[in-house]
Structure 1
């Protein structure tokens, strides 16, 4: 029986609110099945959006239990349009959907670099959402001349194409029910469980191994992301302390990255990966100015990202090299960090990554 069917026999938001929105000492837990039914019902348009906001914020203020996260993810997965991709390996780059607004972020260029190294990749997201309303990959693609991004069928074709090998997956196609409530979520102000989990819906699924590369800010999140990633069906997840919670390692501090995989019985293991001194970037070098508009930030990222794919030296090249090498190494596509770094530099210098980008943009 699906969670939607089960939900017909269970209380929805009004009843659940009586149990979770009653103060820190009286709050009660809800079951995984109740959480799934409530979220499915809400995403299907059967619940009051104000009540959904109260419900999610009440859970966040109390602190979601792991089984409640599992239930909410169940409900979100039920309404996700997951599609199959015929490829031996596939990595999803899970950036925060609200983008970045503090530092240059070159995630829009990273999947083309990985694809040129033989690793199919995609970045998932939306064009714009709160609370940051920052720079997203979709905004960079639009600036580069690709305003119409692929639907699910087109994304599969791009990933399976020998000439492209990477894609963008927009939430409007992968999870239209979740995308439809983005304005209501903006009004909630606080980040909720939906924000935590929307990067873990696994919309494009390889016939071979599926890898997730995801960043975090707060130390409480790695166990949650690891558990939810396995629930969603990924074979491995690389968790790292990231720039603004994204896929590029946080700067000015040692790398903190952990690998969790089905192959190694889900036991977290530290990734032994040292940056080449030539690739080190300080946060001050890529910081946005306080007066820089989002449009100006997008233009800077596009200019520097294209230069890196043209073989130019600079911070974009360094960040793409370190992050790309980490992904290749953690997913088993390179035997050692040094070999992974060499692979990245070769496709940047040869123009192979630039060709992959141009094949996508058209």
Structure 2
């Protein structure tokens, strides 16, 4: 006779819903500690379906305050599979949760270019999303296997050649994956869609262990993110991405800011508008054509789009500067 798996006690969210569920004008932000406790309970499956739906809708209407995001992120890290950091190099962490609608999803190209240069690179994301072409689908089309376990991801990040780990979110954090899966039920995104892109799942989740890539679609959101990452422990490259993905738009140059140790530094401040030579890109909705085009770029038959080449160089520059600072710091 086997013993039953113990279940966690239910968690009452009513007192939190009273604060966050009063509408646009009446809702109040939770203290950071309360946001962490609530999100932890949600991830642990301790909140009833009715209360969970109420919390998700309340935050959809109210929005998350920066300190609430910090508490939620801390809770989310507690529900991620532990990934040991490589011993000598920080990891570049690339979230990929939007996929391609019109423009091709070139996240795999960015990751493969970095790994080819010996940069440990972790891509985490959804296998499928709204019928769009996801990075996971493209990696498989390119012959890059998805990591089936956290241990496999650790081993890939420590590889001497091409240290690239591609980790689906349902392997990295089944708890976060379950919250992401609420979207088709409710019909709207929820807080987990924001938090999952902010994850630093490597080691002890410190800025020294990983450089995270983060993107925005609206200029005003850049200011919000800059404020957030300036007040939280961060090592983040922030740039305008492509349809919600963190890869640079191949058709135009983009500003890139480095946020670390409470400082902001603009690494790339280009002229506005399109680049001189806009590359001929494959249709974004075709997995096969996008994968074939990426292969041509990797083989040198098609040049790397200038904005993506700049993004790769900027990432390498930040990693080198961070390493020099780490070596120069007193023990």
- Name the residue aligned to 2:300: 311
> What is the aligned partner in structure 2 of residue 60 from structure 1?
60
C-alpha distance after superposition, 1:315-347 (max 9, x if no partner): x5545423322322333379xxxxxxxxxxxxx
Shift of 1:211: 0.7
Distance 2:270 2:136 in 1: 31
User: Structure 2 CA distance, aligned partners of 1:215 and 1:126?
Assistant: 17
SS of the residue corresponding to residue 137 of structure 2 reads: helix
Structure 1 unmatched ranges of 5 or more = 1-6, 335-362
Match of residue 240 from structure 1: 239
Query: 1:63 & 1:187 partners in 2: Cα distance?
Result: 20
Q: Give distance in 2, aligned partners of 1:225 and 1:173.
A: 27
Distance 1:144 1:54, change over 3 A: same
Query: Is residue 175 of structure 2 the alignment partner of residue 166 of structure 1?
Result: no
2:72 is equivalent to residue 76 of structure 1? no
Partner in structure 2 of residue 102 of structure 1: 102
The aligned counterpart of 2:5 is none
Is the 8 Å Cα contact of residues 202 and 232 (structure 1) preserved in structure 2? no
Aligned pair in 2 of structure 1 residues 281, 156: CA closer, same or farther (>3 Å)? Answer: farther
- The residue aligned with 2:94 is 93
Normalising by structure 1, we get a TM-score of 0.75
Distance 1:61 1:54, change over 3 A: same
Aligned-CA RMSD value: 3.3
Cα deviation, residue 282, structure 1: 4.2
Q: Gaps (5+ residues) in structure 2?
A: 1-7, 323-331
* Aligned partner (choices 263, 266, 271) of residue 267 of structure 2: 271
The separation in 1 between residues aligned to 2:162 and 2:123, in whole angstroms, is 14
The C-alpha deviation readout for 1:284-307, integer Å capped at 9, x for no partner, is x43747xxxx4xx11111000011
State whether residues 111 and 120 of structure 1, in contact with CA within 8 Å, keep that contact through their aligned partners in structure 2: no
Q: Partners in 2 of 1:82 and 1:230 — Cα distance?
A: 26
1:286 partnered with 2:276 = no
SS at match of 2:92: strand
Normalised TM-score (structure 2): 0.81
